[in-house]
């Protein structure tokens, strides 16, 4: 028996990195998994990779019509949601002098607006006792150079978790934030203009981690699984770091 047998999970941004690893982990534990992605080819590839009872819906979390399509698909199938992993997000480097209106809007639309309406629009389908998991970042609590807008967007996610945990307590819906540190993902590699500089970025980040290495998406997925199950039944409104001690030691 799996830990999530009979459960329905939704993972936004489930086509790569942490989202893909978590969707795969949920599926391995018996969940029916809905994933979203903006690119159809990438979405189809992820569905094949995850296998089993995985349903893909092409959607951009910052686009409210896309979210409506996601939840209509779930409702039309007669399903309700036990686990919502609002994971879709991203960011790019820009110093204070370099920030443009477009950079700000893109980052906050994807990370803040997208997360807000992903959770809000799921409310009618969320079962009482459901688990809502948000993807934050260690950047939300430290002052990483050239990552100010991204860090601010992730600080907003942390605030959302506190507020929503309080607002949804009467339905015993738990809301928690995962704050990954340096994790080897396509998104992180995409911050660099080429493979050589991406490798240099990973080396630089790993050097600042007490455990001496980058984290892997599967290590974040293991925490997401814990928060998705009753093993974390007395945990809500919190932020848990998966950073090899980088922001703790």
How far apart (Å, rounded) are the C-alpha atoms in residues 12 and 36? 5
Instruction: Give the tens place of pLDDT for each residue, 108-148.
Output: 999 999 999 999 999 999 999 999 999 999 999 998 898 99
- The confidence band for 83, taking pLDDT boundaries of 50, 70 and 90, is very high
How far apart (Å, rounded) are the C-alpha atoms in residues 124 and 31? 20
Question: Which of the residues 34, 71, 150, 234 is marked catalytic?
Answer: 150
pTM exceeding 0.85: yes
Amino acid 103: pLDDT: 97
Evaluate the CA torsion angle 49, 51, 57, 63 in order and state its sign.
Answer: negative
| 71 carries an active-site annotation | no
Helix, strand or coil, per DSSP, at residue 154: helix
pLDDT above 90 as % of the chain: 86
- The confidence band for 26, taking pLDDT boundaries of 50, 70 and 90, is very high
Amino acid 164: pLDDT: 98
E strand map for the chain: 8-11, 32-37, 54-58, 81-86, 126-135, 174-180, 239-242
Q: What is the mean pLDDT of residues 69-74?
A: 98
How far apart (Å, rounded) are the C-alpha atoms in residues 169 and 163? 10
Among residues 167, 246, 236, the alpha carbon closest in space to that of 211 is found at: 246
CB 150 within 8 A of CB 168: no
Nearest-10 crossing angle of helices 114-122, 64-76: 30
Among residues 132, 134, 18, 147, the alpha carbon closest in space to that of 94 is found at: 147
Instruction: Give the tens place of pLDDT for each residue, 163-192.
Output: 999 999 999 999 999 999 999 988 777 777
List the domains of the chain with CATH numbers: 8-242 (3.40.50.720)
Amino acid 188: pLDDT: 76
How far apart (Å, rounded) are the C-alpha atoms in residues 67 and 36? 9
pLDDT above 70 as % of the chain: 100
Amino acid 190: pLDDT: 76
How far apart (Å, rounded) are the C-alpha atoms in residues 45 and 42? 5
């Amino acid at each position: 028996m799996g830990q999530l047998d009979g459960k329905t999970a939704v993972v936004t941004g489930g086509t790569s990195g942490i989202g893909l690893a978590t969707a795969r982990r949920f599926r391995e534990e018996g969940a029916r998994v809905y994933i979203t992605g903006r690119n159809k080819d990438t979405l189809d590839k992820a569905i094949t990779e995850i296998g089993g009872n995985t349903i893909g819906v092409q959607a951009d979390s910052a686009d409210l019509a896309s979210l409506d399509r996601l939840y209509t698909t779930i409702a039309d199938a007669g399903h309700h949601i036990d686990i919502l992993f609002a994971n879709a997000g991203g960011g790019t480097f820009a110093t204070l002098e370099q920030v443009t209106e477009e950079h700000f809007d893109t980052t906050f639309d994807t990370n803040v607006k997208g997360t807000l309406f992903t959770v809000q629009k799921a409310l009618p389908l969320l079962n009482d006792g459901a688990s809502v998991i948000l993807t934050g970042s260690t950047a939300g609590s430290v002052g990483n150079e050239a990552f100010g807008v991204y860090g601010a967007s992730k600080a907003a996610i942390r605030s959302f978790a506190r507020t929503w945990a309080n607002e949804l307590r009467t339905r015993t819906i738990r809301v928690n934030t995962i704050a990954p540190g340096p994790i080897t993902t396509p998104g992180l590699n995409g911050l660099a203009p080429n493979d050589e500089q991406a490798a240099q970025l990973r080396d630089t980040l790993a050097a600042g981690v007490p455990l001496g290495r980058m984290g892997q998406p599967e290590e974040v997925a293991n925490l997401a699984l814990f928060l998705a199950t009753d093993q974390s039944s007395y945990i809500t409104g919190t932020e848990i770091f998966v950073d090899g001690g980088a922001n703790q030691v």
